[in-house]
Amino acid sequence: MWKVLIADDEPKIRKGLRCTLETFGLPLVVCAEAKNGLEALEKTREFKPDILMVDICMPKLSGIKFLEEIKKLGFDGKMIIISGFNEFSYAKQAISLGVSNYLLKPIAEEELYTVVSDIIEELRETQKSRKFVELMRQQIRQNELYLRDVFFNDWLDGNLSPTEWQEQMEILGMEIPNTVTVILVSVQADYAGRMTGGALPEELYKMTLEKLVRDLLGEYKPVYVFMNRYQDVVGIMGGCREEIDRLHGRVLSEMEKLVGGQCCVQIRNCLQKELPGIYEIMRTHARKILECRPIVLEARKYIYAHYEERDLDLTQVANAIGCNSSYLSRMMKQELGISFKDFLTNLRIGKAIQLMKDNRLSLNQIAGMVGYSNQHYFSAAFKNCQGVSPSEFRRNLTQD
């Protein structure tokens, strides 16, 4: 039954409206009556009616003022204004306040029946819509993680337009900042047999890897972790508060403990709109790295861990992983498409560029931190890689 509140300062009119409504046989009940605007406001709060029938001219609080007050309360039912004044200004004000109908006294029964029955039908449709929306919300809550995985995979694979991914992001209640940090964790195809010393069901593998990455990224807000269609774990979060190198090392170390084999961890900062493109670059790089022979992966891992050492060379790396230096040089060139020397130089210069963002560090300090014995060698290597000197590059970096 739909609840109706009648507000009019004339008792006869209130009684007449109640009796007339009761003869219509419609699914409604008069839950309350009010003789002035203040009483109507109090009873609206108390009874929460679905339909309000309000005289526009009432003592203490006029009908228009009453409508203004209940609008502040967030009343979302239907409102009918009743008046003996056929003035457009009243009607215009009432309509602006969300009034469904404007009836003039004396009210014809047929007109009242038509208005009320139409309102009831509107209320039914609104109720259906609300139930449907609530059902959808329940479905979203129950399947939130799955739907987020689908959303992220579709978005990062380029299957959603900007409008579509914005709409879906809002529906799923997510807030992705304009500047984000993305982390991609990829492992070799035979990961399942390497974990915990035996075969591991795929679903348990997913849950284990995702939980590890989620725990490692737990301090960042917001953070979203999911598994992509290639069985990589992806994390998207607000701007990284610590050095990317430190986070990279921490995640890589924990992943290798868990997987017991080779893995590739990448972290990049980018703008939200750039994310799909950056993600594809990271995916391509991960595939290339994980297709390498184990000896190249071991060498790469060792170089990343020791690039800061000034005397690091091919022989040291080869000895550390137990192979011939000539063979290692040939394999790196073949599978990475770059020589050991160039690989080490590119790595060091890349790390130097990250350090240049900290204005407290001098170029000489940065040179030492990435493995160069003096700034002269560092500057020559930097210019060879970037085409400009370190100081010029830093000036441009500061201007940007």
Looking at CATH, the fold of the domain delimited by 176-291 is given as Alpha-Beta Plaits (3.30.70)
Which pLDDT does position 141 carry in this prediction?
62
* Helices of type H across 338-374: 340-355, 363-369
Token pair for 242: 């610590």
Farthest-apart Cα atoms in the chain, separation: 107
Which pLDDT does position 87 carry in this prediction?
53
19-46 tens-digit pLDDT: 999 999 899 999 999 999 899 999 999 9
Helix or strand or coil: residue 228? coil
Domain ranges across the chain:
2-139, 176-291, 294-400
What are the distances in angstroms from CA 194 to CA 203, 229, 257, 370?
Answer: 15, 21, 11, 34
Which pLDDT does position 19 carry in this prediction?
92
Please name the CATH architecture into which domain 2-139 falls.
3-Layer(aba) Sandwich (3.40)
Please name the CATH architecture into which domain 294-400 falls.
Orthogonal Bundle (1.10)
Which pLDDT does position 43 carry in this prediction?
92
* pLDDT-flagged residues of the chain (< 50): 88, 192-199
Which pLDDT does position 400 carry in this prediction?
56
For the chain, what percentages of helix, strand and coil (3-state, to nearest 5) are there?
A: 60, 15, 25
* Alpha-carbon gap, residue 80 to 63, rounded angstroms: 10
* Alpha-carbon gap, residue 193 to 237, rounded angstroms: 30
- Residue 69 is which amino acid? E
